[in-house]
């Protein structure tokens, strides 16, 4: 298994599998409601001109997260993706 890294560290075009969701309470529940669950594949689409927020593609829809929120999500890069 690949090394786990925080979601906000990935670059546009990279694809990863969600491995762990940190945080608790309302934030964790919000992630689950948005479809951010362990085992899902997530694609980093692009970032805003100043770098925050970042747009992701998961479960057939586009999702924008701030870097501080994405830092709670740990992912594993899919094979063939550059770190």
CATH number, domain at 61? 2.30.30.90
Answer yes or no: is 40 within a domain: yes
Answer yes or no: is 14 within a domain: yes
Q: What is the mean pLDDT of residues 1-19?
A: 90
- Residues 23-55 pLDDT 10s: 888 989 999 988 899 999 999 999 988 888 999
Answer yes or no: is 82 within a domain: no
Please indicate, yes or no, whether the overall pTM of this predicted structure exceeds 0.75: yes
Q: Where are the alpha helices (DSSP H) in the chain?
A: 25-33, 67-70
- Residues 51-83 pLDDT 10s: 889 999 999 999 999 999 999 999 999 876 555
Structural domain count, the chain: 1
pLDDT at 25: 87
- Cα 39 to chain centroid, rounded: 12
pLDDT at 24: 85
Give me the sign of the Cα torsion angle 69, 71, 75, 79. positive
Print the domain residue range for 64. Answer: 4-71
Q: Which residue has the tokens 């560290």?
A: 9
Answer yes or no: is 65 within a domain: yes
Answer yes or no: is 64 within a domain: yes
pLDDT at 6: 95
pLDDT at 80: 65
Answer yes or no: is 80 within a domain: no
């Amino acid at each position: 298994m690949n090394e786990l890294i925080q979601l906000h560290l990935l670059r546009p075009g990279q694809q990863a599998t969600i491995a762990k969701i940190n945080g608790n309470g309302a934030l964790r529940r919000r992630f689950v409601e948005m479809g951010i669950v362990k085992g899902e594949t997530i694609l980093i689409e692009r970032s805003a001109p100043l770098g925050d927020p970042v747009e992701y593609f998961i479960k057939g829809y586009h999702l924008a997260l701030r870097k501080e929120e994405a830092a709670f999500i740990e992912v594993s890069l899919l094979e063939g993706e550059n770190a």
